[in-house]
Amino acid sequence: MRTADMQALGNVAAEGLTVLNNLIRGMHSGIAGRVFASIGPAAKPVETVHDAIAGTVYDLLGAAAHRLPPVLSSFAAAGLAFDDDAALDEHPRLAEFLAALDGIYGDELAERGSPLAPPMTLRVSGRPVPLTPDAVRAAYPRPTDAIAVFVHGLCQTESSWQRAPRPSAHTDDRSYGERLHTDLGFTPVDLRYNTGLHISTNGRQLDETLTRLLEVWPVPVRRIALIGHSMGGLVIRSACHYGHEQNRRWVRATRQVICLGSPHLGADLEKGVNVATWAMARLGETRSIAELLNLRSDGIKDLRFGALLDDDWAESDPDEFLRDRCREVPFLPTATYHFVATSAAPRYLGAVLGDHLVRPSSASGRGRRRNVPFRAESGLTLTGLHHFDLLSHPDIYVRLREWLTAT
């Protein structure tokens, strides 16, 4: 673990304690204010004393929360030996923790230049692959002219694609990428990115990453398949839009775009949080809870309606009440687009509950006001699976192989 990472963790801990202190303070203030208001003017002297004592206590707690964790982390960093070559995000367990942290708070960390919010990178065995000819050649010693790029979802890393499938008599424990390499000759390329950033920001970064990758890939690239899970599918569609505007070579080589459980029309959970915070902000007792929930990242808020472009969120209030500003984003003319939707319950109940995070109507892009132009024959809808089963399932792999064999 690097010294800079240790200090950054201390700063995050301080931020968390400060937010917690403000949350409790706000709730205390709201409840006390309503009680004193119900008593009337007779309670004013007691209210004045109460507010003075409570304010002093919370100020002291806030100062301690702000200063103590960074001091302790700096002391630990100075007193312990760290391997400066081993980044925090290269340790599997810690990488998963950081991915969750970035998904929730990664936009703020990136804005502050924190090492806990690293840029988008290719990864092999958890380690970043610099986009240089030598590094790429070493990371992919047997490159092919067909590449399958895997883009994970919110609060995840590329290791999510290694998820063990449900037990089955015919289960193959290998990942989709490994099987596509064996069966169809695709070289799997895994990506890691900060899911707390705007989807359009990550889309632009993916465009730049793929542009550079083709420049340094050891052999000419004939064909690209882009496969995204959940938010990853939206990031891919955003990258395709920006790459098409620039007439990128990787866009012209892209033949398939496959979205596994992606909320093209938005995610109900984020819509629900938006409604809840809007309501709680109107009560003094719960206003601080609304302020806390509104600290969730730009990436999460983009999932409310599936915002793919800068114009979908620029110059607007990110916490406005259920307003869909999203523009339709055309498909690439050279690629075939596919979706996989699933529900964890039978047909009618599953249409409402979806896979616990994304409903089939959103994953397939079929809404009352907006429609994503997936062809019905280009999709797959399953039942009895939850959102993360999409990362590794034999039925889905069979369809992936069919789609990637078709052209």
DSSP 280-349: HTTSTTTHHHHHHHTTS-HHHHHTTTT--SGGGTTTS-TT-SS---PPP-PPPTT-EEEEEEEESS-HHH
Tokens of 401: 């192989």
Clarify whether residues 216 and 336 are in a common domain.
yes
Range of the domain at 165: 121-266+324-406
Q: Is residue 296 part of a domain?
A: no
Q: Is residue 305 part of a domain?
A: no
Residue 242 and residue 350 share a domain:
yes
Residues 152 and 45 in one domain: no
Q: Encoding tokens for residue 319?
A: 């916490």
* 54 in a structural domain: yes
Nearest-angstrom CA–CA distance, 219 and 213: 11
DSSP bridge partners of 123: 128, 190
Token look-up 């949080």 returns 273
The C-alpha atoms of residue 273 and residue 74 are separated, in whole angstroms, by 36
Say how far apart CA 396 and CA 311 lie, in whole Å: 34
Rounded to the nearest 10°, the torsion over CA 107, 111, 116, 118 is 90
Look at residue 56 in the predicted model and tell me its pLDDT.
77
Indicate if 251 and 359 belong to the same structural domain. Answer: yes
Global pTM value: 0.86
Shortest CA distance to 264 belongs to which of 204, 208, 324?
324
Residue 285: inside a domain: no
Is 114 inside any structural domain? no
Residue whose tokens read 């109460």: 50
| CA proximity to 206, closest of 261, 149, 135, 266 | 149
Instruction: Walk along the chain (407 residues) in steps of 10 and give the mean pLDDT of each run.
Output: 64 68 73 70 70 71 65 52 63 87 93 89 96 97 97 96 75 90 97 98 98 98 98 98 98 98 96 94 89 93 97 93 93 96 69 73 91 91 90 94 88
> Do 75 and 140 fall within a single domain?
no
Domains in the chain, number: 2
Structure confidence at residue 118 (pLDDT): 87
**Interatomic CA distance for residues 132 and 172, integer angstroms:** 34
| Residues 45 and 169 placed together within one structural domain of the fold | no
User: Residue 84's CB: how many other CB atoms inside 10 A?
Assistant: 11
Q: Classify 151 as helix, strand or coil.
A: strand
CATH of the domain at 167: 3.40.50.1820
The answer on 141 and 32 residing in a single domain is no
Q: Give the model's pLDDT for residue 108.
A: 92
Kindly state whether residue 302 falls inside one of the protein's structural domains. Answer: no
Residue 14 has a pLDDT of 65
Q: Which of helix, strand or coil describes residue 364?
A: coil
Taking the CA atoms of 304, 153, 261 and 205 in sequence, report the sign of the dihedral they define: positive
- 20 and 133 both lie in a single domain: no
Q: Which residues pair with 260 in a beta bridge?
A: 229, 340
